[in-house]
Amino acid sequence: MRCKLRLLLLCLFQFTFFSYGQNKSKNQTTNTQLSESFLDRTECKVGFVGTVFWSNGLSVGAEYLWKESEKTKTRKDKERTNTHQFLFNGNLGFVTNFSSKTDTGAYTNFGLTWRRTNKKGKQFNIELNPLGYYRSFLPETYEVNGDSVDKIFLPGRGYYAPSLSAGIGKQRKGKVRSGSYFNINYTMRTPYNSGALPTFSLQYGFRFNFKNKKQ
Amino acid sequence: MKQPLADTIKIGFLAIATLLVNACSNDHTLSNLDATVFVRHKGADMPAYIKGNANEKIFLITLHGGPGGLGLGFRGNAFNQIEDNYGVVYFDQRGSGMSQGNYSEDDVTIDVMAEDVLALVNVIKRIYGNDSRFFLLGHSWGGALGPATLLKDQSEFLGWINVDGSHSPKDLYFEYIRNFERVAAAQIELGNSVPFWESVYDELDNVDANTVTLDDFNQLNTLAFDAEEYLNDDGIINNAENGNVKVSDYNVLTFIWNLLKIQSILDDDLIGELSFTERLAEITLPSLILWGRYDMVVPEFYAQEAFDNLGSSEKKLVFFEKSGHSPMFTEPNLFAEEVIQFMNQNK
C-alpha cells in the first residue's frame, strides 16, 4: 500500500514538474510598465448604439487603462505576442425609436473591460458594466389617481441596467483616432413591468486618444 | 484637430436635440390626429396612439387581443376608413406592447386592467375636453376586457362593439372541442384538406375532454390558428390584408417578452375560470357584435351567446361569411361599413 502511495506521489511530482516546465517554455507573461500620465492612459469613444430597426442613438464614453500585460505563446514553432488589458470604462448614451416615440431613453454605465490585442492590432473585448442606470423618456404623459388627471413633467422611469458586451475592434497605434469597435450588447432593465426586461443592441464606434500625435 | 472635434460635438448635440424633439412632439389637430400619449395608472405607463378625425370629439377606444397583443395591430384598410370618420385610440394594455412600469404580479388583474381603460377615458377627456364621447371596441381577449370595463362604468360610453371577443374564457376549451368536431366533419365532407381535418380528431383524442388544463388549452388554441390557415388555403376564408403596423413601431423582443410574461400571469386566472356570460345582461349600451363565421379561435357559438345575453335594447349581430378570427383584415370594407354605421346611429 505504502509503495503504491509513493509511486503515485512520484507520478504527481513528475507531472507537476514537467507540465510547469512545458508552460515556461511556451507561455510567457510580462507586465507592461504604464505611463504615469492619466491622459496617456485614457481614451474617449463615441459611436452608434441601437437595434437598427427599433432604436438608434449615440453613445460616448471613456476608458482608463488599469493593467496591461504581454503574453507570448509559442504555437507550431511560431511565437505570438498578444497584449491583454484591463480597463475601467464608463458610458453615456441616448437612444430613440424614430417611428414610435415609445422607446426613448438615456443610460449610463460603468465597469471593467478586458481586451486582447494581437500583433496586427485586431482586438477582442468583453465589457462588464455592473453599475448601470437607464432612464426612459416618454412623450406627453398623464397620471390618473381616481378622478384626478395630472400632466407629468419630464415623464419616464428609471431602471437599474447592468450590461455585458462582447465584440471585436481594430487598434490604430499612436493615432488620434486610436481604434474602432463593434460590440453586441446585452442589458437588463429592472424592475420592468412585473419582472426584468432583457434588451440587445449593437454598438459601433471609434476610440480617440488626444495625446497621440498622428491624425 | 480642435476644429474637427468642435464640429463633431456640434453634430452630436444637434443629433440629440433632433432625437428629443422627435421623441416629444405630438399633433393634437382634431381633424387629423397623430398623437402618442402615455397613461400612468397604478404603476404602469401605457401608450395610447390617438389617430384619425375627431372633429366631433368622438373616439373609438380599441382593446387588443392576447392578452399581450399590440394596440396598433388593428391598423389596416378597415381602421383607415374608420379613422377618416372618427378618432381611434389604439391602446397598449398593461404589460403589453411598449407598456412599461413597475408593479407586482398581483397588480396584473382583469379588474385593474379595466380600471386602466377608464383611466384612459379620463386622460382623453383631459386632453380634448369633457365633451369627448366614446365607443369601446374589443377583439378576442379585448372581448373579455371590454365587458369588465363596462361593468365597472358604462356611463362613459355610447356603444360597445364586440369583435370575435371572448367574454367567457372559462368555457372556451370545451367549445373548442365541439367546434373542431363540427367543422372537421363539414370540411371532410366537402373534401377540403382532408388529411389535416382527420389529424384534428387525433389531436382531440390527445386532450382531456372533461378537464381543462393550460397545456391542453394552448394545444387547441394553436390548432385553431392552424385550422384557419387551412380554411384560407381552401378558399373558405378570404386572404388577410396586411395591417399598417410597421416593423419599427414595436421592438419585437420587448413585445415578445411582454407577451410571454403577461400571459404567464393572466392565463391561470382566465382559462377555465373567467366568465362574464351571467353578467352581460347588466350591459345596456347599444351593442354591435361582429364575428367571422369560421372563427376557430373564439367560435361562432360565442357570437350568439353574447347577442342573447347582452342587456342592450339596441343590438345587432353580423357574421362575416368569408372570415375567421379577424374580419377586419379579411373583409375590411364590410367591417368598416358596419362599424361606421353603428357609430353614426348611436353618436
pLDDT band at residue B28 under the 50/70/90 scheme? confident
State how far residue B64 is from chain A, nearest Cα, in angstroms: 18
Angle at CA of residue B268, ends B263 and B273, nearest 5°: 125
Which stretch of DSSP H or E encloses residue B111?
A: helix B110-128
Angle at CA of residue A135, ends B39 and B110, nearest 5°: 35
Cβ–Cβ gap B38/A54 under 8 Å? no
Compute the distance between CA of residue B15 and CA of residue A57 in angstroms, rounded to an integer. 9
**pLDDT confidence of residue A5:** 58
Distances (CA, A) of A89 to A34, A66, A117, A212, B332: 17, 10, 17, 20, 54
B261 interfacial to chain A (CB closer than 8 Å): yes
Cβ–Cβ gap B98/A210 under 8 Å? no
Query: What is the mean predicted confidence (pLDDT) over A76-101?
Result: 89
Cβ–Cβ gap A139/B23 under 8 Å? yes
Nearest CB neighbour to B100, from listed A96, A136, A149: A136
| Residue B201: strand pairing partners | none
Compute the distance between CA of residue B200 and CA of residue B179 in angstroms, rounded to an integer. 11
Compute the distance between CA of residue B321 and CA of residue B299 in angstroms, rounded to an integer. 13
**Is residue B3 within 8 Å of B12, Cβ to Cβ?**
no
Compute the distance between CA of residue B276 and CA of residue B111 in angstroms, rounded to an integer. 13
Please give the grid coordinates belonging to residue B145.
376586457
Model pTM greater than 0.80? yes
**pLDDT confidence of residue A24:** 47
Cα Rg, chain B, nearest whole Å: 22
For testing contact with chain A, the best of B90, B92, B102, B264 (most A CBs within 10 A): B102
Q: Which residues of A touch B104 (CB under 8 A)?
A: 194
**pLDDT confidence of residue A1:** 47
**Is residue B253 within 8 Å of A198, Cβ to Cβ?**
yes
- Return the closest-CA partner of residue B114 out of B154, B145, B135: B145
Q: Which residues of A touch B102 (CB under 8 A)?
A: 157, 191-193
- Residue A19: pLDDT above 90? no
Q: Give the count of alpha carbons within 13 A of B186, CB side only.
A: 11
Compute the distance between CA of residue B174 and CA of residue B25 in angstroms, rounded to an integer. 49
pLDDT band at residue A215 under the 50/70/90 scheme? low
Q: Which residue of A has its CA nearest to B18?
A: A98
Query: What is the mean predicted confidence (pLDDT) over A156-183?
Result: 94
Compute the distance between CA of residue B195 and CA of residue B185 in angstroms, rounded to an integer. 12
**pLDDT confidence of residue A174:** 84
**Is residue B329 within 8 Å of B240, Cβ to Cβ?**
yes
**Is residue B59 within 8 Å of B133, Cβ to Cβ?**
yes
pLDDT band at residue B157 under the 50/70/90 scheme? very high
Compute the distance between CA of residue B328 and CA of residue B334 in angstroms, rounded to an integer. 8
Query: What is the mean predicted confidence (pLDDT) over B200-222?
Result: 92
Q: What is the share, in percent, of chain A residues with pLDDT greater than 90? A: 61
pLDDT band at residue B326 under the 50/70/90 scheme? very high
Grid coordinates 368555457 are at which residue?
Answer: B171
Query: What is the mean predicted confidence (pLDDT) over B117-131?
Result: 96
**pLDDT confidence of residue A59:** 95
Helices B169-190 and B194-206: angle between axes, nearest 10 degrees: 150
Query: What is the mean predicted confidence (pLDDT) over B107-113?
Result: 93
- Return the closest-CA partner of residue B59 out of B123, B119, B124: B124
Nearest CB neighbour to B47, from listed A51, A102, A197: A102
Backbone angles phi, psi at B31, to 5 degrees: -75, -15
Cβ–Cβ gap A104/B23 under 8 Å? yes
Pairing of strands B44-52, B100-101: antiparallel
Neighbours of B215 (CB within 10 A): 9
Q: Which residue of B has its CA nearest to A48?
A: B12
Neighbours of B55 (CB within 10 A): 14
State how far residue A16 is from chain B, nearest Cα, in angstroms: 50
**pLDDT confidence of residue A118:** 92
**pLDDT confidence of residue B271:** 80
**pLDDT confidence of residue A21:** 46
Cβ–Cβ gap A96/B26 under 8 Å? no
A vs B, Cβ pairs < 8 A, gives 138
B122 interfacial to chain A (CB closer than 8 Å): yes
Q: Which residues of A touch B256 (CB under 8 A)?
A: none
Compute the distance between CA of residue B347 and CA of residue B249 in angstroms, rounded to an integer. 31
B126 interfacial to chain A (CB closer than 8 Å): yes
State how far residue B89 is from chain A, nearest Cα, in angstroms: 15
pLDDT per residue as tens digits for the range A102-148: 999 999 999 999 999 998 999 999 999 999 999 999 999 999 998 89
Query: What is the mean predicted confidence (pLDDT) over A148-163?
Result: 96
Output the average pLDDT for chain B.
Answer: 92
Grid coordinates 427599433 are at which residue?
Answer: A54
Residues in B 231-260 with any Cβ partner in A closer than 8 A: 246-254, 257-258
Compute the distance between CA of residue B106 and CA of residue B104 in angstroms, rounded to an integer. 5
- Residue A25: pLDDT above 70? no
Identity at B27, one-letter amino acid code: D
Kindly provide the b/e burial profile for residues A8-45, where b requires at least 16 CB atoms within 10 angstroms of the residue's own CB.
Answer: eeeeeeeeeeeeeeeeeeeeeeeeeeeeeeeeebbbeb
The predicted complex's ipTM stands at 0.90
Q: Which residues of B touch A140 (CB under 8 A)?
A: 24, 26, 35-38
The secondary structure of residue B18, as a DSSP letter, is H
Compute the distance between CA of residue B301 and CA of residue B164 in angstroms, rounded to an integer. 10
**pLDDT confidence of residue B26:** 77
Nearest CB neighbour to A155, from listed B38, B102, B126: B38
Secondary structure class of B246 (helix, strand, coil): coil
Task: Please measure the distance between the N-terminal and C-terminal CA atoms of chain A and give it in whole angstroms.
Answer: 73
B2 interfacial to chain A (CB closer than 8 Å): no
Cβ–Cβ gap A194/B98 under 8 Å? no
Lowest mean pLDDT among A115-129, B26-40, B314-328: B26-40
- Residue A7: pLDDT above 70? no
- Interface residues of chain A, partner chain B, Cβ below 8 Å: 46, 51, 53-55, 57-58, 60, 94, 96-104, 136-144, 147, 149, 151-152, 155, 157, 176, 191-195, 197-200, 210, 215
